[in-house]
Structure 1
Amino acid sequence: MTDRKPLKYHAKLSVAPMMDWTDRHCRYLHRLLSRDTLLYSEMVTAPALVRGGAVHLLEHNTAEHPVALQLGGSDPVELAAATKLGADAGYDEINLNVGCPSDRVQSGTFGAVLMKSPTLVAECVKAMQEVTDVDVTVKCRIGVDDQEPKDVLPNFLNEMQGAGIKRISIHARKAWLKGLSPKENRDIPPLDYPLVYQMKRDFPELHLSINGGVASLAEAHTHLAEGMDGVMIGRAAYHNPTDILSTADREIFGAGTDTDPVQVVQQMLPYIEGHLTQGGKLNQVTRHMLGLFAGKPGARAWRRYLSENATKSGAGPDTVLAALQHVTQAAA
């Protein structure tokens, strides 16, 4: 990593790991928008890496740093092996998922269901830390199902601290493993920001990031002003990447200049060319770029043109430039 600032510096703002969204193409785009924001991979399961040999899931561009790998699993030995693979692949941080509520995750006994087994999580993170010097972190919920968060969360954080974990991201919602879909679990359980603020007061030596429902940098500032060490933003950073990331280096980190989404599109062109040369398809990259001009003149035409043309045979950088013309003409 060329940037020598500690990861906790970058963790002041991070883009949440999101399945099917924060792949390597998405992260490359986000890095062009913000130099300092910490980026996370989609969750990769330890069994897929260790038993399935799916090491291609670890592929990333060196330009993405600082970048963290999120792992899913509940077997300490397997998670340790996956951690070593991730660290050897060059990731700056390995994060354990203790928050995902999907059925697939529950059946594998990992994700949010692990909130019920803090001692097992402690064993997992100890095993992970033993195989690498890279930061090992945890992303969790405030509780699951009928658990009482104000009792469960302090106990969980205490176990993590005892296991040597120094940084934790807390999604400030419960996960309901029965009765709610993963999508519903992102919206329906009420947010409890005050509980997470209280955890920061109770565990001052832990670096705690708050996650869930944060839709703007103004809201991020509110959480930081309440004493949180970091803010993790998910869907807003994906759907409105320019609004969240183009001013983040200046607004959150107090350094750097704002980025221009038009210039970012132009910077993406060589990356797209390289992806196509390797046999990739244009829409694998451009699907992450649809929200670049959200709320700005020409945004709808930009989205429509890319959506309709990026899947066509022969689609390439010229297709992106043609879409961009809708934006530049609307702004003129």
Structure 2
Amino acid sequence: MPISPARAAARLAVAPMMDWTDRHCRRFHREISRGALLYTEMVTAPALIHGDRARLLDYDPAEHPVALQLGGSDPAELREATRIAAGWGHDEINLNCGCPSDRVQAGTFGAVLMKTPALVADCVAAMAEVAGVEVTVKCRIGVDEQTPSEALPAFLETVAAAGVSRFIIHARKAWLQGLSPRENREVPPLDYPLVLAMKRAYPHLHISLNGGVACLAEAEALLAQGLDGVMVGRAAYHEPWNILGAADARLFGLPGPRDAFAVAEAMRPYIAAHLASGGRLHQISRHMLGLFHGRPGARCWRRALSEGASAEGAGMALYDAALAEVARA
């Protein structure tokens, strides 16, 4: 059986991040890397069933391979949400079992599902019946007072028995009480050895590691230790060229863009079309502030776009002026 586009691309993935990885962000990241797997923001099953489906699910075909992340804990709701989403043609549907936010906990999904692996198994089995593509799970190594070396393998075994063979493991425990979502990304210690041990213990599972990866070299080092994939979050957002710019050549054997200027130029038609349809420059440019991170002119680029792009009438002239400042630097 041929490897699916999403599974092949999972060698390097950009994490789903609320308020960040919207369709404009993903389109921008795709201009930097043709090979990496991109994820949507999390969409809750009830929102998809009862809300504006086009707004929640639409994407540019150029984003492929792109994965949809769903949130929920009711098997019937998740089945219906997956059935609806199946018509949009995402390359993968992922169940969120890792988000620690209060809102997510109130809905009894996200990281709290680490406590109920049997329920997760019921959810993914229901999703797989109608998905038409691979159903995957993003999880933590454990939550609260759980012992990760016990909780994680039990979770993997139970959910894998329901048909899931690909997991993205955030290598930190989540504390559901007492730590904010931001602190849950930074305070609990990373445990890469445990995730690596899971790959050795379950070689038939496709396991990606998430959490704390700050550069492409770190991702390469983890892959060299036997992991199937690495997912990068905030670093890929804040330093997109530094993370994704060389990924195609180094990880996928594909030709990549010449430099960050080429990416900025390649985005011009997309931005122009968005503006022509009534969109605002800021809706796209806010995701591009880190394109020249660490390079001469980066501050001018950020300042020009962050200060001017949200103004009424801001358009290609402002964008080109910002790019010209970087070129002069």
Contact 1:250 1:258 (8 Å CA) reproduced? no
CA distance, structure 2, for counterparts of residue 160 and residue 154 of structure 1: 10
Report the equivalent of 1:149: 148
Q: Determine the structure 1 residue equivalent to 2:51.
A: 52
The size of the alignment, in residue pairs, is 328
Q: 1:102 aligns to what?
A: 101
Whether the 8 Å CA contact 1:33–1:259 is kept in 2: the answer is no
Q: What CA distance in whole angstroms lies between the structure 1 residues aligned with 2:109 and 2:238? A: 27
Query: Unmatched 5+ residue regions in structure 2?
Result: none
Q: Deviations over 1:164-192 (max 9, x none)?
A: 10111000000000000001100000000
- The alignment's TM-score, normalised by the length of structure 2, stands at 0.97
What SS is found at the alignment partner of 2:287? coil
CA distance in 1, matches of 2:258, 2:151: 42
- Partner SS, residue 256 of structure 1: coil
Contact 2:5 2:91 in 1 (8 A): no
Deviation at 1:158, TM superposition (A): 0.2
1:63-83: CA deviations, max 9, x gaps? 000000000000111111111
Summarize the Cα distance change of 1:217–1:277 in structure 2 as closer, same or farther, 3 Å threshold. same
Aligned to 1:220: 219
- Percent identical: 63
When normalised by structure 1's length, the TM-score is: 0.97
| Equivalent residue, structure 2, for 1:119 | 118
Taking the aligned partners of 1:94 and 1:256, their CA distance within structure 2 comes to 28
Partner Cα distance (1:101, 1:48) in 2: 19
> Partners of 1:78 and 1:53 in 2: how far apart?
16
- In 2, the alpha carbon distance for the partners of 1:146 and 1:119 equals 19
Q: Which secondary structure does the structure 1 equivalent of 2:39 belong to?
A: strand
1 CA distance for matches of 2:138 and 2:54?
22
- Provide, for residues 252-291 of structure 1, a one-character-per-residue CA deviation record: whole Å limited to 9, x for no partner: 1133234421111111111111112222111010000000
Q: Are residues 268 and 257 of structure 1, via their aligned partners in 2, closer, same or farther at CA, if it must alter by over 3 Å?
A: closer
- Secondary structure (helix, strand or coil) at the match of 1:287 reads helix
State the match for 1:12 in structure 2. 11
SS in 2 for 1:159: helix
Partner residue in 2 for 1:190: 189
Give the AA of the match of 1:91: H
**1:19-58 superposed matches below 5 A:** 19-58=18-57
Which residues in structure 2 correspond to 1:277-292 (within 5 Å)? 277-292=276-291
Instruction: After TM superposition, list the pairs within 5 Å mapping 1:76-91 onto structure 2.
Output: 76-91=75-90
Distance in 2, matches of 1:299 and 1:251, equals 25
Q: Unpaired runs of 5+ in structure 1?
A: none
Give the CA deviation at 1:6: 3.5
Write the letter of the residue equivalent to 1:173: R
Distance of 1:156 and 1:8 partners within structure 2:
21
CA contact (8 A) 2:73 2:109 kept: yes
Contact 1:58 1:89 in 2 (8 A): yes
Q: Are the counterparts in 1 of residues 32 and 256 from structure 2 also a CA contact under 8 Å? A: no
Q: What is the distance in 1 between the residues matched to 2:278 and 2:56?
A: 17
Q: Evaluate the alpha carbon distance shift between residue 298 and residue 254 of structure 1 in structure 2; reply closer, same or farther with a 3 A threshold.
A: same
CA contact (8 A) 1:15 1:40 kept: yes
Cα separation, partners in 2 of 1:108 and 1:5, compared to 1, 3 Å: closer
| Amino acid aligned to 2:18 | M
> In the alignment, is the contact (CA less than 8 A) between 2:11 and 2:36 conserved in 1?
yes
